[in-house]
Amino acid sequence: MSSDLVATWTVSLPDGKHKVEFEHGTTSGKRVITVDGREIHREEWMFKLVGKEHFKVGNAKCTISIDACSGFAYEYTLEVNGKPLEKFRENQNKIQKCWCFTLGSQSSTPFRVVLEKDTLNVWVNGKVVETTGEFTDNGTETHFALGETLHSAYIEANSSGKRREGIVHRLFIDDQEIPPAKD
């Protein structure tokens, strides 16, 4: 790990959680951006120590801003799709629902299921899966296949009965409800 590592962020997208690391050499102006352990941008010698670096994480457009604070101190901020990271996270929590769990007894298989509420796309371990919708007496069910053994999976969408809460989404695997992830 470089001694020039100045910031680390976690960006949660429908295709998974991504770790963004930023190195900034305050004497050389060096800038290195690493996403999920893979270097995606490097500049060795820059005379301007402040500025912005633009890059993509999946389909998200990201910008790291480097601002001088006082003396030789710098502040590093990450924007995702034009929003500060905290605002982006708040927005993601409104437009997507996430569940993380494992299936199987011996060799437990980890799963991350994400529902994009605005598009109704369902992502399983970073890939959009084919779904089938069905109307029920209480709302809708979105059915999809899960894993190689093809577990029965569906997301139930029902009205909460409360205007501020809106629609409640619940994931069922083999008719067992899965609690939502805590991110």
- What was the pLDDT predicted at 105? 62
For the chain, the average pLDDT equals: 89
Looking at the chain, which runs of residues are DSSP E strands?
5-13, 16-24, 31-35, 38-43, 51-57, 60-68, 74-80, 83-84, 96-103, 109-116, 122-124, 127-129, 132-135, 139-146, 151-159, 167-173, 176-178
pLDDT band at 1 (very low <50, low <70, confident <90, very high): very low
Greater model confidence, 39 or 26: 39
**pLDDT per residue over 50-78, tens digit each?**
899 999 998 899 999 999 988 778 999 99
**pLDDT one-digit tens code per residue, 89-135:** 999 888 999 999 988 765 677 899 999 998 999 999 989 999 999 99
Beta pairing partners, 179 = none
Which structural domains are found in the chain, ordered by start? 5-81 (2.40.128.180), 92-178 (2.40.128.180)
Backbone angles phi, psi at 61, to 5 degrees: -90, 125
Rounded to a whole number of angstroms, the distance between the first and last alpha carbons of the chain is: 27
What's the pLDDT score for residue 46?
75
Name the pLDDT band for 149 (thresholds 50, 70, 90): low
Burial (CB count within 10 angstroms: exposed 0-12, middle 13-18, buried 19+), residue 121: middle
Question: Residue 17 and residue 149: Cα distance in Å, rounded?
Answer: 25
